[in-house]
Amino acid sequence: MRQRINTGISILDKMINGGIPEGNQVALAGTAGSGKTLTAFEFLYNNAKEGKKGLFFSLEEAPEQIIENAKDAFTDFKDIDKQIANGNLKIEGADIKETIRGAGNGDESQMNYLFGSVVNQIASSIKSTQATRVVIDSLTTFKLLIRDPLAYRMLSLNLVDVLKNLNVTSMLTLEIQTGSRERLKYQPEFFIYDGIIVLYAIPEERSRIQSLEVLKMRGTKHSFKTVPYVVTSSGINPIISVENVL
């Protein structure tokens, strides 16, 4: 059996029968505000506490913003600064907004070049930090820039190959426009990834319920259930007690 990389998010680890199979490149897909960034952060933080090095590579928010938001949401995570200081948790970002502006209306070849240079930057950060766990938040930044869906998929496939060759286990966040559970499930780009975790914000009568579902996870059996969760001060936690989730 392949080694497991625990996410430390107990409900998620249960849903994938122990942890992410080592070397899997997992998409964490969901609508805006569904909790992708925080979930991915918690994965790296929990691993950092166990002495496992992680790289959080942000393509959306500045690293300081990521840290501030995580501290605001997870007030029980007392060691964020410590894990950053000891090198177990590295938060980096590429400011691609300027480059995008420079590229004007999105010349396709320029966008491909930009994507390639960010992938190189991620690869060299992984090497220099010796991270074995990686988060890229989010790939949607590129999806918005590259109009041709096939080109976007090829570039995503290339990124996944680069990560695989570096032997890391990753969560790659994807922002999905639709809140519809059925449509969320069948994104054409999903075939690229070894695993797909979806975060839903399902509308109820007067509010929304955040839920977690594992659509696919290579190398393990996994739950077919959709589990409601909340962001609490101690991390991502299920709302109801879930025993037989597998």
Ligand X SMILES: Nc1ncnc2c1ncn2[C@@H]1O[C@H](COP(=O)(O)OP(=O)(O)O)[C@@H](O)[C@H]1O
CB of 49 to Mg ion, least distance (A): 22
Site for Mg ion in 24-53 (CB under 5 A): 36-37
Select from 8, 21, 23, 35 the one that contacts ligand X (CB under 6 A): 35
Chosen from ligand X, Mg ion, none, partner binding at 187 (C-beta under 5 to 8 Å by type)? none
Side-by-side strand order, sheet with 208-217: 89-93, 54-58, 133-137, 169-175, 25-30, 195-203, 208-217, 226-232, 235-238
Assigned token pair, 216? 């696919």
CB of 187 to Mg ion, least distance (A): 17
Site for ligand X in 61-100 (CB under 6 A): 72-73
Beta carbons within 8 Å of 97's beta carbon, 6+ residues apart: none
CB nearer Mg ion, residue 96 or residue 112: 96
Task: Give the angle subtended at the CA of 175 by the CAs of 228 and 113, to the nearest 5°.
Answer: 155
Identify whether the C-beta of residue 43 lies closer than 8 Å to the C-beta of residue 13. Answer: no
CB nearer ligand X, residue 3 or residue 232: 232
Select from 2, 32, 113, 237 the one that contacts ligand X (CB under 6 A): 32
Q: How many residues bind ligand X (CB under 6 A)?
A: 11
Answer yes or no whether residue 52 interacts with ligand X by CB under 6 A: no
CB nearer Mg ion, residue 139 or residue 214: 139
Answer yes or no whether residue 36 interacts with ligand X by CB under 6 A: yes
Answer yes or no whether residue 187 interacts with Mg ion by CB under 5 A: no
Identify whether the C-beta of residue 43 lies closer than 8 Å to the C-beta of residue 135. Answer: yes
Exposed, middle or buried: residue 150 (CB in 10 Å: 0-12, 13-18, 19+)? exposed
Amino acid at 231: V
Assigned token pair, 187? 């994104």
Select from 23, 30, 93, 195 the one that contacts ligand X (CB under 6 A): 30
Site residues for ligand X per CB under 6 A: 30, 32-38, 72-73, 231
